[in-house]
Structure 1
Amino acid sequence: MLNSLRSIVQEVNAARDLKSALDIIVTRVKSTMGTQVCSVYLRDESEHFLLMATDGLNLDAVGQVRLSPDEGLVGYVAVREEPINLEKATDHPKYQYFAETGEERFSSFLGVPIIHHRQVLGVLVVQQGERRRFDEGEEAFLVTMSAQLAGVIAHAEATGALERMGAAATEARFKGVAGAPGVAIGKAVVMTPAADLRGVPFQTCEDIDEEISFFHRCLQLARDDIKALGLQLTDRLNQQEQALFDAYLAMLDDASLGGEVVERIKEGVAATYAWSEVILTHERNFASMTDSYLRERAADVRDLGRRVLSYLQEQVQQCRVIPDDAILVGEELTASMLGEVPKERLAGLVSVQGSSNSHVAILARAMGIPTVMGAVDLPFTQVDGRELIVDGYRGSIYTDPGATLRKHYEEICAEERELIKGLEALKKLPCETLDHHRVPLWVNTGLMADVVRSLERGAEGVGLYRTEIPFLLRDRFPSEEEQRIIYREQLEAFAPHTVTMRTLDVGGDKSLPYFPIDEDNPFLGWRGIRVTLDHPEIFLAQVRAMLKASEGLNNLRIMLPMISSVTELDAAKTLVYRAYHELLEEGHRIEIPPIGVMVEVPSAVYQARELAARADFLSVGSNDLTQYLLAVDRNNARVADLYHAFHPAVLRALQSVVNDGHSQGTSVGICGEMAGDPGAAILLMAMGFDVLSMNATNLPKVKSVIRGITLEQAENLLDEVMLLPDAESVTRTLEKALQDAGVTGLLRPGGAD
């Protein structure tokens, strides 16, 4: 059955819409299992289960039979969230007869839930006339089929909800990973790489005749290209190979691909989308063929598709108008795509792929653009031109928002604008509590764009300068001198304030295009200090550049990422001192800077005392530490709900690091996203962290919260939350305490959940 399962999943993936997908499922599952009935019931907006497709029951019942969760065997399967396998369904107390279906002829029943992200989407059912219990193999097949199809059905449902043709737009929500804080309301502008057949946004056309003429003009340009290429290669190809160009030309005729596209255009679909749709259908058809020669023709179809698409897109791009409130949406947004839109028109970003540590997310935070990354279930090609709400706090995207939801987020935006105005007055005031406890607020930087924003917000230093950014922006390793110039700019901009430069931190989800690290489990693999200790030539060049850049300023600190043992720290310090002595011998007048450790893995937590005895400072990277403690990939939208910095285990680990660091007389800071959360900052201050380092955008909010509370209040609050059993309890307690203190407006705005 494994081959059948693969084949069914492939067919369903190729379906144009949800109805087609469901029809394929019931027909193919019925045939594969040799049953008399296969049906799919899906949960609707009213939480009822609607018969959406069947092969074996009365077709008139489709879309008519609706069951509540406490009705019938289908509802029973959904409530129990496990298979129900019955030899005689009518004997079960939950059996309920629906005359419309004609199911009285069938005795045996096997139903399995369709579950996606812990939510029951529906129920997949097979039925048989004779009394028999489906065997273990059949039950296992149907369970496996349900699990395989859950994501496909969820995606098809989402796409259907956004379908423009013949249906009114409906509000829908999609989940991702928070990339940059803030809320944006605007129009979606789908961005795709050139000639990417799978990334063409769905668009309609108003003038069908003009669209057909436009399509034919582009086809002719492609024909001319193919003919010219064939002539150029006449002397190098044999007759059989030359025939390939004739085949390409034949496929473009109205009797072939061109004709199919024209038919779709006549239905009101734009030429670019119609072309991509037709090409992808033919590519899938060829790819699924058993004959190897025909299967390889899929590559020919794909190549032809890209050639024509490039002409179609080139013409469309010249006429594209960017709205004033543009929200860029793409499968994988890049910095160059951001550059195509004037900054004053860029309201928000949404990327289907990528993480909160992706370059585009870092850039968005520096620019203050609300961003959601990793929105894997968003059918991004369907949203071009639609109104979107981007909630960069919770990682949510809403399409076609209704009046109530829109009003809710407009109020949040208004509050934010008023809040920013009020916070501007805090720039020159010290960050201290009502009882005069001083808390230095530093910033995390990576681009020169961060510098101006940070200084405008009153930053007192840099707790994390991401040196990998200049590496990511090049197609080769930057030279020692190139690095020195970049580092000097940062050090001079913040002088005399301290700048903490983290040595190259690649690996995990940060891979250099010219130094790829391909691993099955990159977060537990070759990353951070592990890479640079294995390549001392890279490490030494970077440290030398840092030391030379600090000459005459002496405001540098060097921080080592991903340290998991004292051995790694000792090895790295040896290399730093080697670089220092080399530069002294070369005549440079420099001082050895403080050398610190990033605490971001559990082993560093438990060896914090030993690390603190050898280091000049410790700095907790709360993002990675949280994901390693909770075994949750923080960039994975599917488990985002399990990632919570207020988890009791995280809070206890943070307190332990502070205590152990201070026991050795070593300063302890924190430079993860947690430090920029106004509520979390209260707890971190109470724990005794010496420095909080955050994105410049959050600095005024954190300062305002700290200035509105006493240290004693913060310490009492910390004592209370450290006894709580879960993150939800901590969050509720923290919110109530801040409300009582009158600082609720500074908390991170919530979504409309």
Structure 2
Amino acid sequence: MLGSLRSIVQEVNAARDLPAVLDIIVRRVREVMHTRVCSVYLRDKQSDSYVLMATRGLNQDSVGKVHMVPGEGLVGNVVTREEPINLERAESHPAYQYFPATGEERFSAFLGTPIIHHRNVLGVLVVQQAEQRRFDEGEEAFLVTLSAQLAGVIAHAEATGALATIGRQRRETRFGGIAASPGVAIGRAHVVSPQANLATVPYSCCMDVEAELELFQQALGNARKEIREVGERLKNDLNREERALFDAYISMLDDSSLAVEVCDRIRQQLSASRAWAEVMLEHVRRFEAMSDAYFRDRAADVRDLGARVLMHLRQQQQAQRDYPQNTILIGEELTAAMLAEVPRERLMGLISVKGSANSHVAIIARAMGLPAVMGAQDLPYEQIDGAELVVDGYRGELHVHPGAELRRRYDAIVEEERELARNLDHLAGLPGETADGHRVRLWVNTGLMADVVRSLERGAEGVGLYRTEVPFLLRDRFPSEEEQREIYREQLEAFAPRPVTMRTLDVGGDKALAYFPIEETNPFLGWRGIRVTLDHPEIFLGQVRAMMKASQGLDNLRIMLPMISGVGEVEAARKLVERAHRELRDEGYRIDMPPLGIMIEVPSAVYQASDLAQQVDFISVGSNDLTQYLLAVDRNNSRVASIYHALHPAVLRALLQVVNAGHTARTKVGICGELAGDPGGALLLVAMGYDVLSMNATNLPRVKAALRAVKKSDADQLLKQVLDLQYPEQIEQVLQDFLQGLGLKALLQPEGESQNPNSKNYMSNVKKQSSK
């Protein structure tokens, strides 16, 4: 059964569209299970019913004509129960309903399993037999397993098919994801993908067929040359079998039938890279489906060859491609380096198929003020390169080919967002304090030089987190000490005399350096943050020296250590920092020892906060990672994104414990996670006693407006109220009600229902409140 399961899934993955997917399912399942009937019913969203979409064994004329609402018939009961129904005599079941068009009166045994994707029942997979018998446990388990594996494929195929139809008819369609960075962006899709991944080559057409054919032939020639050179260089280090692999590669590239297949698709106006990827993946799947183990293993060789040619194609195409003026960057998994390749003035918004609202690239998007949607898993992004898009970063929605009316509504929202920002400009010169004078430092999180101007314009009083890994992420090698010094000097000078907190290199987890790969099964619990730099003191010392050199004459540097889990790490890092300071003093630099602080990001640091506070000059909570570790939720995993909640009661209680421990030790305590940039969350943090709130510059005016409208005593009462609650949703509602009572909800919580662009009252409410 396992072999059959794998074979069916491989065939389905290779199918071109939804009808082909369904046909493979009903044909292959009937063969493997030796049943008389296999059928698939899929949900029709418009009628909220389940429609017979494919069958082998029932009358073909009934396809598309048999509908059942949830609870109706056996199929409808599978939907409502969300579990299998296995019957020896289907006709005797109370829910049985007879549909004459199907001809199913001949069959008694019935087994139906739900096809569930993201908690929604997409459809029902059914097998039937003429004789009266109950399907055994193995058969039921097989069908349940297959349904679970096919759910994502069917969802993607549905979305792709809908988009293909819409593309021909130029009708708008909507896809959902996770709201990751607020705002609305209207622009053109620009799809990016890993340089040599056949599976992620976007669907794209070519206008000049002859030029594309020439491009393909050049790539083949370059690949042949590269393979020959590598084979020649390594011939003395390889045995006969290993050398034969290079000969096999050359032989495949010289195979005229392979080139003919690709050229035929290019002549149908498919781009060279897409045509090559389609042909090579088809060959890979043929090898993977073979029963002989030797030939199955050759699939990896075919994939490797395909990637080599694709790399040459991409290099030639990238040199010819330009970014649209209003670029919406789309990728399976966007990275900081991908963002950096787009001129800032052309980048309007981001969409990532993977990731969540708290992934690293989402945080950068918020810092840059770019609307973003993450975790758009059902988006067939390969099909929409160049299409007009609307990115709704408030509601986590994407609109492909928006119609005139939808476009008009979103244009109005974009314009009124600009007006709202202008209405908050006057706050830049005012202090961050409550209505009764309680002072709180409002700092910013930075990483790019583009952040500097925005931060200063909005009244930043300092930098609570400078992400030093960003310059590392944007290079193809470690930056030298002098290169780092120049980068750090720019930040320190721009904010002087305001303090700038520089976090030492924090890589690992979702921040990978291409030239320093960290391959781990569980990277978020692995080698990251301070663990990496303590194991590589040469990296740590070089970075700390560069920071201190950059601070000469400015004296506004603070150094912060990430991912601290115990006192021993602080002691080891402090020795290195003090050593770097001594060395620089010996070299003639007149530099005072900068304040040294730590980030509280893991549970062990929460419970040892009192001990840690006595070792350092300041503490800063990284609430994004702390939330992730407390709730055991990978913040990049869109499947569990709904569990990640910064207002979870456990998170709030941990934050209160940390600030109390710090103040008992007479140590200043700040916070630099996304919670600090949420107006409601900021009020709770002020009530807890946090000395510094550090956030992205985009949110700073909103937080300041909220603080200046509230008395400290009212914030204290608010905190007392929420600490007694058990659910994050309750806490969120209390905060919204509190802000609403102040007349601030429309201004400060744009992600609510009133954000619906179909609502006529949306921006009128915002305008009214921003004038107060």
The alpha-carbon deviation at position 97 of structure 1 amounts to 0.8
Report the CA distance shift for 1:133/1:291 in structure 2 as closer, same or farther (over 3 A): closer
Report the CA distance shift for 1:251/1:440 in structure 2 as closer, same or farther (over 3 A): same
- Tell me, in whole angstroms, the C-alpha distance in 2 between the residues paired with 1:443 and 1:339: 20
- Tell me, in whole angstroms, the C-alpha distance in 2 between the residues paired with 1:524 and 1:254: 46
Which amino acid in structure 1 is aligned with residue 503 of structure 2? Answer: R
Range with greater deviation from structure 2 (64-73 or 351-360): 351-360
Aligned partner of 2:173 among 161, 171, 174: 171
Which amino acid in structure 2 is aligned with residue 156 of structure 1? Answer: A
Q: Is contact 2:52–2:66 with CA below 8 Å preserved after alignment?
A: yes
Residue aligning to 2:328? 327
Residues 431-455 of structure 1 deviation map (CA, whole Å, 9 limit, x = unaligned): 2222222221101112222222211
- Tell me, in whole angstroms, the C-alpha distance in 2 between the residues paired with 1:685 and 1:241: 65
Residue aligning to 1:415? 416
- Tell me, in whole angstroms, the C-alpha distance in 1 between the residues paired with 2:418 and 2:604: 43
Q: Mapping of 1:472-621 within 5 angstroms?
A: 472-621=473-622
Residues 630-668 of structure 1 deviation map (CA, whole Å, 9 limit, x = unaligned): 111111111111111111111121122222222222211
Q: Mapping of 1:212-291 within 5 angstroms?
A: 213-218=210-215, 221=218, 248-251=253-256, 256-259=261-264, 262=267, 265=268, 273-291=274-292
Range with greater deviation from structure 2 (303-312 or 71-80): 303-312
1:140 matched to 2:141? The reply is: yes
Residues 704-744 of structure 1 deviation map (CA, whole Å, 9 limit, x = unaligned): 22122222222222222222221111111211211111112
What is the number of residues matched between the two proteins?
744
Report the CA distance shift for 1:403/1:75 in structure 2 as closer, same or farther (over 3 A): farther
- Tell me, in whole angstroms, the C-alpha distance in 2 between the residues paired with 1:224 and 1:468: 39
The alpha-carbon deviation at position 574 of structure 1 amounts to 3.0
Report the CA distance shift for 1:685/1:62 in structure 2 as closer, same or farther (over 3 A): same
Residue aligning to 1:714? 715
Residue aligning to 2:388? 387
Q: Secondary structure at the match of 2:701?
A: helix
Report the CA distance shift for 1:374/1:435 in structure 2 as closer, same or farther (over 3 A): same
- Tell me, in whole angstroms, the C-alpha distance in 2 between the residues paired with 1:694 and 1:222: 47
Q: Secondary structure at the match of 1:169?
A: coil
Q: Mapping of 1:451-466 within 5 angstroms?
A: 451-466=452-467
The alpha-carbon deviation at position 16 of structure 1 amounts to 0.5
Residue aligning to 1:11? 11
Q: Is contact 1:177–1:636 with CA below 8 Å preserved after alignment?
A: no
- Tell me, in whole angstroms, the C-alpha distance in 1 between the residues paired with 2:265 and 2:491: 57
Q: Is contact 1:215–1:271 with CA below 8 Å preserved after alignment?
A: yes
Report the CA distance shift for 1:579/1:190 in structure 2 as closer, same or farther (over 3 A): closer
Q: Secondary structure at the match of 2:41?
A: strand
- Tell me, in whole angstroms, the C-alpha distance in 2 between the residues paired with 1:295 and 1:427: 64
Report the CA distance shift for 1:508/1:319 in structure 2 as closer, same or farther (over 3 A): closer
Range with greater deviation from structure 2 (239-248 or 424-433): 239-248
Residue aligning to 2:31? 31
Report the CA distance shift for 1:395/1:567 in structure 2 as closer, same or farther (over 3 A): farther
- Note the residue ranges of structure 2 that are not aligned, 5 or more in a row: 758-772
The alpha-carbon deviation at position 356 of structure 1 amounts to 6.1
- Tell me, in whole angstroms, the C-alpha distance in 2 between the residues paired with 1:464 and 1:36: 65
Report the CA distance shift for 1:365/1:256 in structure 2 as closer, same or farther (over 3 A): closer
- Tell me, in whole angstroms, the C-alpha distance in 2 between the residues paired with 1:32 and 1:473: 51
1:734 matched to 2:735? The reply is: yes
- Note the residue ranges of structure 1 that are not aligned, 5 or more in a row: none
Report the CA distance shift for 1:345/1:516 in structure 2 as closer, same or farther (over 3 A): closer
Report the CA distance shift for 1:9/1:590 in structure 2 as closer, same or farther (over 3 A): same
- Tell me, in whole angstroms, the C-alpha distance in 2 between the residues paired with 1:340 and 1:80: 49
Q: Mapping of 1:63-462 within 5 angstroms?
A: 63-164=64-165, 169-176=171-178, 178=180, 180-192=181-193, 197-203=198-204, 211=209, 213-218=210-215, 221=218, 248-251=253-256, 256-259=261-264, 262=267, 265=268, 273-291=274-292, 322-334=323-335, 337-338=338-339, 341-353=342-354, 361=362, 364-393=365-394, 395-401=396-402, 406=407, 409-462=410-463
- Tell me, in whole angstroms, the C-alpha distance in 1 between the residues paired with 2:186 and 2:742: 31
- Tell me, in whole angstroms, the C-alpha distance in 2 between the residues paired with 1:244 and 1:561: 46
Identity, in percent, stands at 63
- Tell me, in whole angstroms, the C-alpha distance in 1 between the residues paired with 2:357 and 2:164: 29
Q: Secondary structure at the match of 1:633?
A: coil
The alpha-carbon deviation at position 8 of structure 1 amounts to 0.6
Residues 452-500 of structure 1 deviation map (CA, whole Å, 9 limit, x = unaligned): 2211221101111112222223333333333333323222221111111
Residue aligning to 1:638? 639
- Tell me, in whole angstroms, the C-alpha distance in 2 between the residues paired with 1:232 and 1:702: 60
- Tell me, in whole angstroms, the C-alpha distance in 2 between the residues paired with 1:106 and 1:465: 68
Which amino acid in structure 2 is aligned with residue 124 of structure 1? Answer: L
Range with greater deviation from structure 2 (401-410 or 379-388): 401-410
TM-score (norm 1): 0.90
Which amino acid in structure 1 is aligned with residue 15 of structure 2? Answer: A
Range with greater deviation from structure 2 (365-374 or 711-720): 365-374
Q: Is contact 1:612–1:666 with CA below 8 Å preserved after alignment?
A: yes
Q: Is contact 1:219–1:252 with CA below 8 Å preserved after alignment?
A: no
Report the CA distance shift for 1:434/1:512 in structure 2 as closer, same or farther (over 3 A): same
Q: Secondary structure at the match of 1:519?
A: coil
- Tell me, in whole angstroms, the C-alpha distance in 2 between the residues paired with 1:442 and 1:590: 24
- Tell me, in whole angstroms, the C-alpha distance in 2 between the residues paired with 1:385 and 1:198: 19
Question: Over the residues paired in the alignment, what is the CA RMSD in angstroms?
Answer: 3.3
Which amino acid in structure 1 is aligned with residue 123 of structure 2? Answer: G
- Tell me, in whole angstroms, the C-alpha distance in 2 between the residues paired with 1:49 and 1:543: 62
Residues 581-626 of structure 1 deviation map (CA, whole Å, 9 limit, x = unaligned): 3434444332222222211111222222222232222111110011
Report the CA distance shift for 1:200/1:580 in structure 2 as closer, same or farther (over 3 A): closer
Residue aligning to 2:2? 2
Which amino acid in structure 2 is aligned with residue 632 of structure 1? Answer: V
Q: Is contact 1:60–1:100 with CA below 8 Å preserved after alignment?
A: yes
Which amino acid in structure 1 is aligned with residue 564 of structure 2? Answer: I
Range with greater deviation from structure 2 (451-460 or 59-68): 451-460
Q: Is contact 2:35–2:127 with CA below 8 Å preserved after alignment?
A: yes
Q: Secondary structure at the match of 2:642?
A: helix
Which amino acid in structure 2 is aligned with residue 258 of structure 1? Answer: C
Report the CA distance shift for 1:532/1:293 in structure 2 as closer, same or farther (over 3 A): closer
Residue aligning to 1:694? 695
Range with greater deviation from structure 2 (690-699 or 240-249): 240-249
Residue aligning to 2:760? none
Q: Is contact 1:188–1:385 with CA below 8 Å preserved after alignment?
A: yes
Report the CA distance shift for 1:356/1:89 in structure 2 as closer, same or farther (over 3 A): closer
The alpha-carbon deviation at position 520 of structure 1 amounts to 1.2
